[in-house]
Amino acid sequence: MVDWIEGKITGKKHWSQALYSLQIDAPLVEFKAGQYIKVALDVEGERVGRPYSLVNAPAEQPLEIYFNEIPEGPLTPRLSDLEAGDRIWVSDKASGVFTLDNVVSRKHLWMLATGTALGVFLSMLKTDEAWGAFERVILVHGARNTGELNYDETIAALRAAHPEQFTFVTALTRQVHDTSLQGRITQLLNSGELQVAANADINPDDSHLMLCGNSAMIKDVRAWLEERGMHRHKRHEPGHYTTEQYH
Ligand SMILES: Cc1cc2nc3c(=O)[nH]c(=O)nc-3n(C[C@H](O)[C@H](O)[C@H](O)COP(=O)(O)OP(=O)(O)OC[C@H]3O[C@@H](n4cnc5c(N)ncnc54)[C@H](O)[C@@H]3O)c2cc1C
């Protein structure tokens, strides 16, 4: 059972196409970067709630979620209609173990995101914890086109703060663009283009990977990693990758 608390929308950004962020003022208890909350609206007498990763770092207020409007979805078309001042329900606790304390400290931390899963990694990268345990942190964002490559100011600030340690690579599936790789993340791993672009190999000794986003990317990358002797990380059995699936 979720205990709901009432929050208030304090900001909204329509980035492009169907992509939005909402900022929510709500008295959430402490959370760890990488965790998600549930967000809900009352629709025709029923409370419709869905999980959303937090984009803000634990030390930052307000809460922020980044989402895709799914026209046929019960919640997101209503979320994108909200404006500053509107009320929204949020769960009183954050949940999830897709966090940096569930990662093995190795030379390279790879963060692979599709679509709106970029947000969860931004929350982590805004904490000190992300920068203490790895020689390099490589964030890979897979999207359909450049219109889906948002949060550029946050990424520019991370680049400026960690110029040697941070690498950001984008991969587009439906547009050719000179600053992005072309293709799905798994294709680019298979061809080695991703590793070349990041100037880092992926192997059991040097790498931990965090995968977040759609099920196809997670399934394919998992298979690719398992073929190379890399296994899912468990609390009592250190491995090489952790996952969070959105859909
Ligand atoms: C742990 C967790 C964290 C999540 N965090 C986020 C987040 O930070 N941002 C976010 O946008 N979504 C996130 N999701 C998905 C989110 O909970 C909703 O499913 C989504 O926003 C659609 O809600 P809906 O009610 O409109 O439609 P739903 O009935 O939930 O879904 C309708 C259809 O849309 C597909 N779908 C769901 N999410 C997406 C998506 N992000 N992109 C494309 N298609 C999708 C579903 O597979 C389904 O076919 C998360 C899911 C989980 C399990």
Average per-residue pLDDT for the chain: 97
**Alpha carbon distance 225, 208 (integer Å):** 10
166 lies in the same domain as 61: no
207 lies in the same domain as 175: yes
225-246 average pLDDT score: 96
114 lies in the same domain as 228: yes
pLDDT value of residue 83: 98
Work out how many domains the chain is built from and give that number.
2
112 lies in the same domain as 176: yes
**Alpha carbon distance 218, 99 (integer Å):** 17
pLDDT > 90 in the chain, percent? 96
Q: How confident is the model at residue 28 (pLDDT cuts 50, 70, 90)?
A: confident
- Could you say which of 71, 91, 111 is where a domain stops? 91
Domain range for 185 is 100-245
Rounded to the nearest whole angstrom, what is the distance from the C-alpha of residue 70 to the centroid of ligand 1?
A: 8
Rounded to the nearest whole angstrom, what is the distance from the C-alpha of residue 247 to the centroid of ligand 1?
A: 6
Residue owning the nearest CA to atom 5 of ligand 1: 52
Residue owning the nearest CA to atom 36 of ligand 1: 247
224-230 average pLDDT score: 98
27-39 average pLDDT score: 93
Residues 6 or more apart whose CB falls under 8 angstroms from that of 145 comprise 172, 174, 175
187-201 average pLDDT score: 98
pLDDT value of residue 1: 85
15 lies in the same domain as 132: no
In this predicted model, what pLDDT tens digit does every residue of 74-126 receive, in sequence order? Answer: 999 999 999 999 999 999 999 999 999 999 999 999 999 999 999 999 999 99
Q: How confident is the model at residue 63 (pLDDT cuts 50, 70, 90)?
A: very high
**Alpha carbon distance 37, 98 (integer Å):** 13
Q: Please state, in angstroms and as integers, the Cα–Cα distance from residue 135 to each residue in 17, 80, 149, 154, 170, following that order.
A: 36, 39, 26, 21, 21
Q: The domain that contains 194 carries what CATH number?
A: 3.40.50.80
**Pocket of ligand 1 from Cβ distances under 6 Å:** 36, 50-53, 65-68, 70, 73-76, 115-116, 119, 244, 246-247
Rounded to the nearest whole angstrom, what is the distance from the C-alpha of residue 168 to the centroid of ligand 1?
A: 24
Residues 6 or more apart whose CB falls under 8 angstroms from that of 73 comprise none
pLDDT value of residue 235: 87
Residues 6 or more apart whose CB falls under 8 angstroms from that of 237 comprise 231
159 lies in the same domain as 69: no
Residue owning the nearest CA to atom 53 of ligand 1: 246
Cα–chain-centroid distance for residue 63? 15
| DSSP-H helix ranges across the chain | 76-79, 118-125, 129-132, 152-161, 185-191, 193-198, 215-227
